[in-house]
């Protein structure tokens, strides 16, 4: 395999891990906002406890994605950050407020009003961030970010590619996916049956919402992302792929319904992995349809090989450390 | 305001904000592991309390450092796509390596912060060591990238694209060693004195506090060790600048006319129209000596350079004076501290001395801001020295004032909250001598 395809594969893998980790952290913020009912306060505690040790590590996947993008596919990075300047800036504000509000809440006064205020900021920022990320993905899929590859100029304008129904539908889809993932994980973060049941109900609601939004995106894609729509509806391999993803989603719902939480978590992970990979394969070999491809945006091969070497060495240090972190905090039973 | 100006101010804002947290991210973990090491050996509750308080400070600062660093990564593209389009691959090596350092930092901070009773004590301490090491290393990597902008190597430009890229040569560019050394010491020095100020204040309020006394002993020792090193390293940096970036050196010094036996100007106001620097104190031959180690060496003046290639002289010169002034003051205070310490055979806590420590506590951080202003403004009009001009790198996006104002307001807000929380978590320490042992307890007190 040529080095640029390998790097693109690593990028996709990092995006999957970012979604599985940080995506769920954003979802946790969503459920902080909807932590009502008798168990409301305890739900918030479980969420805070689940996020505390891991959110910063999960966040670094995004930084890795950005760095790989600007080092290995600089033309794509330049084009994306020009055409999507506005949604990316809003997303950044979300990232800043989410992380800081979460930390501030931990270390600020414990009285209700103060905690409540930081919770609000944390929750709203957790909603805005994945929404905007989804909008950006939708804008990429739409094929409206035209790029003149010789001058590097962006031809689609600063607003048109993302200020449309399809990108926002993708944004909502991303948000509900995060919420679904989070609620499913959270069922395993507590031993209290009533709190667990509350998260189960939330996971089911989010699963249904995710399904509805998936169909909405698909319907809107007909005009909003025609090339993508054709690919999804047409090619033979993609139908199989969609059936598998759909069945996993249904399986996750069934597992939640029958209170098999470990299975539900595994299926949710599989579902999200399939969705993100499906996105990747759907637009392969393009990075930003229709003009920017893996091949025409790639950095020189020797740079890519150097980066791959760094990634290989880095992985030797990183993966055991990550495994250690998760073993300490996620494989020991929750409180 | 033009979009170019808004972009430059935006970048400066974000970096100026982030660097304060980055400095804390480099130096605080070191303080923290020293305190925990002492606790492991002595089992003295004061040391444990100190570890935990510094840890809470670190956790707050780290979170803000991480999110503001994320803003920076995006801003490289949001503001300077014309630069990243070709420079990304060249400086990719340090940034990729930095990514892994960030991972290690974030992972082990999670373990350190929440793992008190989940991992064995020595493993806990070792996590702290990993945080301290990767914080230091991540700073080094990113400064390598910045040094490349000052002394670009490891590629050739052909029709606006970089070819023959050698990522290792680009990372190990001629300014990399000098800048990383100077920045790393700067972080330890600035945080040592900032923390000394906080604990000196605590001691003024509560002279019997064993907590603040122990803290001061550690921070002051670090400050005393770093202050002289920083002077030496600054001199090394200056010699490097003299060699590779003569226009920047001339702007730092407000030096207009090329001559041998060039004088060093202390203070003074450069007048860019009249091309003179007024009101400064001149030390004959000193500039030649500082820049090239020879009082008779020739130092290029600003008039040598066409106007469109000159950096803004006034800002660069003043910022340089501020940095050197701060560095010299801190060195003097460090020497005084050492003398008092030896005389008293204990960390000095005289009230007048404590007040002095409080007065100088922001100087290190001010010097960091000033030093970066020298480096960045002194490089203008280039974004990559001699290769690309800043105005050619800026995004075509109109209305950059809007994100500039929004993000600035956001940073002001975050800064104020952080100060309030630090006050609550670090400064409001237990009063008087401590007896009770409070082991365990992972979460901060509410
Ligand atoms: C605690 C902070 C601190 C202190 C006390 C000093 N500096 Fe500094 N200086 C920095 C913090 C700093 C910095 C913020 O870290 C910079 C910006 C870029 C860099 O590499 O370091 C810097 C840059 C910098 C540069 C420009 C390097 C370049 O553009 O490549 C020079 C020539 C000096 N310094 C020289 C000195 C001298 C002669 C000092 C004598 C007292 C001094 N610095 C004290
Ligand atoms: C953290 C410490 C740093 C500070 C405080 C800092 C400060 C500044 C300042 C004041 C400017 C504006 C210059 C002007 O308007 O005249 C600037 C510009 C810039 N800096 Fe730095 N800088 C830092 C480190 C870095 C690093 C590590 C990089 C990249 C690897 C970098 C990349 C840039 C870029 C791309 C610009 C915009 C172009 C320009 O105006 O030169 N800076 N920075
Ligand atoms: C010379 C200037 C810089 C130094 C010394 C520095 C150092 C650091 C350090 C030590 C951290 C760890 C977080 C903390 O403890 O606060 C950090 C975080 C970060 N920095 Fe900087 N940085 C600098 C400039 C930059 C620039 C120019 C960028 C962008 C390209 C950047 C990107 C980041 C990112 C993305 C993080 C977050 C990592 C995480 O999530 O843990 N930094 N930086």
- pLDDT per residue as tens digits for the range B340-353: 999 988 888 888 99
Question: Whole-angstrom distance between the N-terminal and C-terminal Cα of chain B?
Answer: 46
Query: What is the pTM (predicted TM-score) of this model?
Result: 0.89
pLDDT of residue A189: 85
User: Are the C-beta atoms of B52 and B215 separated by less than 8 Å?
Assistant: no
- Judged on CB neighbours under 10 Å (0-12, 13-18, 19+), B233 is buried
Nearest CA to ligand 3 atom 5: B139
**What are the φ and ψ backbone dihedral angles of B283, each rounded to 5 degrees?**
-110, 105
pLDDT of residue B432: 58
pLDDT of residue A171: 93
Question: What ipTM was estimated for this complex?
Answer: 0.85
Mutating which of A25, A51, A64, A96 best tests the B interface, going by the most B Cβ atoms within 10 A?
Answer: A96
Q: What is the pLDDT of residues B285-335, one digit of tens each?
A: 778 888 888 878 888 877 888 888 888 888 999 999 999 999 999 999 999
Please give the distance of CA B64 from its chain centroid, rounded to a whole number: 16
Nearest CA to ligand 2 atom 14: B377
The residues in B 267-286 lying below 8 A from A, measured between CB atoms, are none
H or E element: which one contains A149? none
User: How many angstroms does the Cα of residue A12 sit away from the middle of ligand 3?
Assistant: 24
pLDDT of residue A234: 63
Once rounded to an integer, what is the mean pLDDT over residues B6-26? Answer: 92
User: How many angstroms does the Cα of residue B11 sit away from the middle of ligand 3?
Assistant: 14
A-chain CB neighbours of B163 within 8 Å are: 300
User: How many angstroms does the Cα of residue B66 sit away from the middle of ligand 3?
Assistant: 7
Residue B119, SS3? coil
Residue B388 bridge partners (DSSP): B384
- Is the pLDDT assigned to residue B429 strictly greater than 70? no
Mutating which of B7, B21, B60, B66 best tests the A interface, going by the most A Cβ atoms within 10 A?
Answer: B66
H or E element: which one contains B294? none
- Residue recorded with tokens 């991540």: B138
**What are the φ and ψ backbone dihedral angles of A154, each rounded to 5 degrees?**
-90, 130
| Beta carbon of B15 within 6 Å of any ligand 2 atom | yes
- Taking the C-alpha atoms of A69, A75, A76 and A80 in order, what is their torsion angle to the nearest 10 degrees? 110
Give the Cα-Cα-Cα angle B173, B312, B280 (nearest 5 degrees).
105
User: Are the C-beta atoms of A158 and B78 separated by less than 8 Å?
Assistant: no
Residue A110, SS3? coil
User: Are the C-beta atoms of B18 and B65 separated by less than 8 Å?
Assistant: yes
Spatial separation of the C-alpha atoms in residues B379 and B366, rounded to whole Å: 20
Give me the residue from A67, A85, A88 closest to B96, CB to CB. A67
**Does B89 sit within 8 Å of A299, measured CB to CB?**
yes
How confident is residue B443, by pLDDT bands cut at 50, 70 and 90? very low
Structure tokens given for B102:
């960030």
Q: What is the pLDDT of residues B187-223, one digit of tens each?
A: 999 999 999 999 999 899 888 888 899 999 999 999 9
Mutating which of A22, A72, A89, A317 best tests the B interface, going by the most B Cβ atoms within 10 A?
Answer: A89
Residue B258, SS3? coil
- Is the pLDDT assigned to residue B155 strictly greater than 50? yes
In angstroms and rounded to an integer, the radius of gyration of the C-alpha atoms of chain A is 20
Spatial separation of the C-alpha atoms in residues B446 and B436, rounded to whole Å: 19
Mutating which of A41, A52, A54, A63 best tests the B interface, going by the most B Cβ atoms within 10 A?
Answer: A63
The residue ranking higher by pLDDT, B249 or A37, is B249
Residue B198, SS3? helix
Q: Which range has the top average pLDDT, B162-171, B269-278, B336-345?
A: B336-345
Nearest CA to ligand 3 atom 19: B69
State whether the Cα torsion A4-A7-A13-A14 is positive or negative: negative
- Nearest CA distance, A328 vs chain B (angstrom): 7
**Does A70 sit within 8 Å of B95, measured CB to CB?**
yes
- Nearest CA distance, A147 vs chain B (angstrom): 13
- Is the pLDDT assigned to residue B444 strictly greater than 60? no
Question: Which are the contacts of A57, defined by CB distance < 8 A and separation ≥ 6?
Answer: A21, A322, A325, B103, B106, B107, B110
Give the number of C-alpha atoms closer than 13 A to the C-alpha of residue A128, restricted to the C-beta side.
Answer: 19
Spatial separation of the C-alpha atoms in residues B42 and B197, rounded to whole Å: 26
Spatial separation of the C-alpha atoms in residues B213 and A124, rounded to whole Å: 42
Q: Which residue of B has its CA nearest to A298?
A: B89
**Does A110 sit within 8 Å of B89, measured CB to CB?**
no
The Cα-based distances of B276 to A47, B245, B375 in angstroms read 63, 20, 22
Give me the residue from B70, B104, B398 closest to A63, CB to CB. B70
Spatial separation of the C-alpha atoms in residues A264 and A163, rounded to whole Å: 35
Give me the residue from B107, B114, B425 closest to A107, CB to CB. B425
Under 8 Å CB pairs connecting chains A and B tally to 211
Question: Which are the contacts of B42, defined by CB distance < 8 A and separation ≥ 6?
Answer: none
**Does B424 sit within 8 Å of A60, measured CB to CB?**
no
Question: Which are the contacts of B205, defined by CB distance < 8 A and separation ≥ 6?
Answer: none
pLDDT of residue A335: 38
Give the Cα-Cα-Cα angle B407, B409, B413 (nearest 5 degrees).
115
Spatial separation of the C-alpha atoms in residues B209 and B200, rounded to whole Å: 11
Residue to mutate (ligand 2; options B2, B12, B19, B98; most atoms within 8 A of CB): B12
In this predicted structure, which of A3-7, A121-125, B267-271, B434-438 has the lowest mean pLDDT?
Answer: B434-438
User: Are the C-beta atoms of B167 and B345 separated by less than 8 Å?
Assistant: no
- Is the pLDDT assigned to residue B24 strictly greater than 90? yes
B414 touches chain A (CB under 8 A): yes
**Does A108 sit within 8 Å of B424, measured CB to CB?**
yes
Question: Which are the contacts of B6, defined by CB distance < 8 A and separation ≥ 6?
Answer: B400, B401, B404
Tens place of pLDDT for every residue, chain A, 335 residues? 788 899 999 999 999 999 998 888 899 889 988 888 787 788 888 888 888 888 888 888 999 999 999 899 988 888 888 889 899 999 999 999 998 888 888 888 878 888 888 889 999 999 999 999 999 999 998 888 888 877 778 877 788 888 888 899 999 999 999 999 999 998 888 888 888 888 899 999 999 999 899 888 888 888 888 877 777 666 666 778 888 888 888 889 888 888 888 898 999 999 999 988 888 888 878 888 888 888 888 888 888 888 899 899 988 988 888 888 888 887 655 43
**Does A79 sit within 8 Å of B424, measured CB to CB?**
no
Please name which ligand lies nearest the alpha carbon of B16: 2
DSSP category for residue B391: G
User: How many angstroms does the Cα of residue B69 sit away from the middle of ligand 3?
Assistant: 5
Nearest atom of ligand 3 to the alpha carbon of B187: 5
Question: Which are the contacts of A234, defined by CB distance < 8 A and separation ≥ 6?
Answer: none
Give the number of C-alpha atoms closer than 13 A to the C-alpha of residue A45, restricted to the C-beta side.
Answer: 13
- Is the pLDDT assigned to residue B438 strictly greater than 50? no
**What are the φ and ψ backbone dihedral angles of B307, each rounded to 5 degrees?**
-55, -40
B-chain CB neighbours of A160 within 8 Å are: none
B81 touches chain A (CB under 8 A): yes
Buried b (16+ CB within 10 A) or exposed e, B167-187: beebbbbebbbbbbbbbbbbb
């Amino acid at each position: 395999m040529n080095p640029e395809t390998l790097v693109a594969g690593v990028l996709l893998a990092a995006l999957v891990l970012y979604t599985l980790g940080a995506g769920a952290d954003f979802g946790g913020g969503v459920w902080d906002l909807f932590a009502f009912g008798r168990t409301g306060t305890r739900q918030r505690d479980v969420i805070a406890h689940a996020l505390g040790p891991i959110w910063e590590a999960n966040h670094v996947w995004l930084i890795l994605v950005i760095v790989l993008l600007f080092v290995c596919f600089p033309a794509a990075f330049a084009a994306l950050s020009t055409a999507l300047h506005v949604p990316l800036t809003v997303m950044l504000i979300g990232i800043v407020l989410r992380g800081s509000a979460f930390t501030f809440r931990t270390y600020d006064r414990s009285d209700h009003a103060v905690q409540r205020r930081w919770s609000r900021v944390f929750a709203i920022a957790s909603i805005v961030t994945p929404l905007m990320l989804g909008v950006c993905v939708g804008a990429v899929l739409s094929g409206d970010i035209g790029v003149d590859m010789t001058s590097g100029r962006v031809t689609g304008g600063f607003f048109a590619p993302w200020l449309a129904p399809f990108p926002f539908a993708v944004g909502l889809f991303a948000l509900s996916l995060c919420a679904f993932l989070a609620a499913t994980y959270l069922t395993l973060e507590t031993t209290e049956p009533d709190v667990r049941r509350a998260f189960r109900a939330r996971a089911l609601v989010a699963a249904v919402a995710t399904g509805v939004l998936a169909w909405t995106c698909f319907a809107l894609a007909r005009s909003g992302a025609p090339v993508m729509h054709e690919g999804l509806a047409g090619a033979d391999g993609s139908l199989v792929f969609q059936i598998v993803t759909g069945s996993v989603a249904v399986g996750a719902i069934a597992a939640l319904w029958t209170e098999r939480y470990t299975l539900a978590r595994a299926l949710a992970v599989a579902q999200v992995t399939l969705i993100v990979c499906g996105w990747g394969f759907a637009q392969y070999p393009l990075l930003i349809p229709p003009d920017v491809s893996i091949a025409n945006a790639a950095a020189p091969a020797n740079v890519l090989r150097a980066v791959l070497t760094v990634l290989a060495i880095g992985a030797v240090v990183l993966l055991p450390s990550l495994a250690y972190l998760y073993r300490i905090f996620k494989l020991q039973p929750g409180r | 305001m033009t979009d170019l100006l808004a972009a430059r101010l935006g970048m400066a804002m974000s970096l100026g904000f982030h660097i304060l947290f980055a400095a804390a991210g480099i130096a605080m973990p070191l303080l923290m592991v020293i305190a925990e090491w002492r606790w492991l050996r002595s089992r003295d509750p004061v040391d444990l309390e100190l570890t935990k308080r510094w840890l809470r400070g670190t956790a707050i600062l780290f979170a803000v450092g991480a999110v503001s660093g994320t803003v920076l990564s995006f801003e490289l593209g949001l503001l300077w796509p014309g630069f990243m389009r070709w420079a990304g691959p060249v400086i990719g090596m340090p940034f990729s390596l930095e990514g892994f350092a960030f991972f290690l930092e974030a992972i082990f901070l999670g373990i350190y912060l929440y793992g008190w009773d989940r991992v064995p004590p020595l493993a806990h301490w070792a996590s702290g060591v990993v945080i301290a090491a990767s914080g230091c290393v991540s700073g080094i990597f990113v400064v390598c990238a910045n040094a490349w902008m000052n002394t670009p190597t490891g590629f050739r430009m052909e029709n606006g694209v970089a070819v023959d890229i050698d990522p290792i040569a680009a990372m190990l560019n001629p300014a990399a060693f000098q800048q990383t050394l100077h920045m790393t010491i700067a972080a330890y020095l600035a945080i040592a004195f900032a923390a000394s100020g906080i604990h000196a204040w605590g001691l003024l309020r509560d002279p019997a506090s064993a907590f603040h006394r122990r803290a001061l002993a550690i921070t002051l020792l670090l400050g005393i060790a770093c202050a002289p090193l920083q002077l030496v390293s600054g001199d090394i940096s200056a010699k490097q600048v003299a060699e590779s970036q003569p226009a920047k050196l001339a702007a730092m010094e407000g030096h207009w006319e090329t001559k041998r036996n060039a004088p060093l100007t202390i203070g003074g106001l450069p007048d860019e129209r009249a091309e003179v620097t007024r009101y400064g104190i001149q030390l004959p031959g000193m500039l030649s000596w500082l820049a090239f180690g020879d009082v008779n060496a020739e130092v290029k003046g600003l008039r040598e350079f066409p106007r469109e290639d000159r950096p803004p002289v006034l800002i660069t010169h003043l910022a340089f004076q501020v940095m050197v002034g701060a560095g010299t003051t801190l060195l003097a205070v460090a020497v005084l501290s050492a003398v008092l310490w030896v005389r008293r055979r204990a960390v000095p806590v005289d009230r007048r001395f404590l007040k002095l420590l409080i007065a100088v506590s922001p100087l290190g951080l001010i010097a960091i801001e000033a030093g970066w202003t020298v480096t960045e403004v002194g490089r203008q009009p280039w974004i990559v020295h001699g290769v690309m001009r800043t105005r050619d790198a800026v995004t075509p996006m109109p209305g950059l004032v809007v994100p500039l104002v929004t993000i600035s307001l956001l940073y002001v807000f975050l800064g104020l909250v952080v100060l309030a929380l630090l006050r609550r978590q670090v400064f409001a320490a237990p009063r008087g001598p401590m007896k009770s042992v409070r082991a365990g307890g992972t979460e901060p007190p509410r």
